[in-house]
Amino acid sequence: MVAQMLATWLEHTGEFTVLGRAATGAEGWELCTRCSPEVVLLDVELSGTDGLELAGRLKRSLPHTKIIVVSGREDPYMLYRMHQLDLSGYVSKGISIGTLREAILAVAQGQRFYSEPFARLLAAEDAFFRVLTTREVEVLYAATQGLAWGAIARKLQIASGTVQKHFFNMRRKLGLHNRTELLLYATRIGMDL
């Protein structure tokens, strides 16, 4: 219902042409690969798939398509994933329709658009993705899945000692004292969702 209302509003403005809407990741993939849209509004909570996984596939297959994530999730780990994918924007589901219009126009012109709280998180000097390396984030994410050091090492194809070193470095960088505190930190930033 919300997607239908949004599509109706976008068409009604006269500024946008809606090429279609999809409820699942598979439908979204098919629609985008068939129509090659200029801008995609993408919810991360799609039926049947993670919306950011779909975003990654679209970025690889349709590099000129700009993706704006529209979500109620506002956790730092999601921002990190969006940042890693180099997505064009994020708008919170709580924003005004005028802000959504502003975001679409900005992104269509090649600019980036991040509504709050992500604009603030993205600029923060102490954001975890500025403090931790990409490999450290991968190790921490694997740990949130309940994997022991040996299983993390096998999954990431690195030595068990390297995993331990990453844990030590992450605790030092974040001012944490043990693995439990590190996992609690990962939960706070939304890494376990």
Residue with tokens 């954001």: 127
**Of the candidates 43, 39, 36, 8, the residue with the CA atom closest to the CA atom of residue 22:** 43
pLDDT at 62: 96
pLDDT at 1: 73
For residue 124, give both structure tokens: 């923060």
pLDDT tens, position by position, 109-147? 999 999 887 777 777 777 777 788 889 999 999 999 999
Would you tell me how many other CB atoms lie within 10 Å of the CB of residue 87? Answer: 24
- b/e per residue, 45-62, with b = 16+ CB within 10 A? ebeebebbebbbbbbeeb
Q: Which domains does the chain have, with CATH numbers?
A: 2-123 (3.40.50.2300), 132-188 (1.10.10.10)
pLDDT tens, position by position, 67-106? 999 988 888 888 888 888 989 999 988 888 899 999 999 9
pLDDT at 5: 85
Strand 39-42, strand 45-46: pairing: unpaired
Phi, psi of 8 (to 5 degrees): -65, -45
pLDDT at 127: 76
pLDDT tens, position by position, 33-73? 999 999 999 998 887 788 899 999 999 999 999 999 998 88
DSSP for residue 48: T
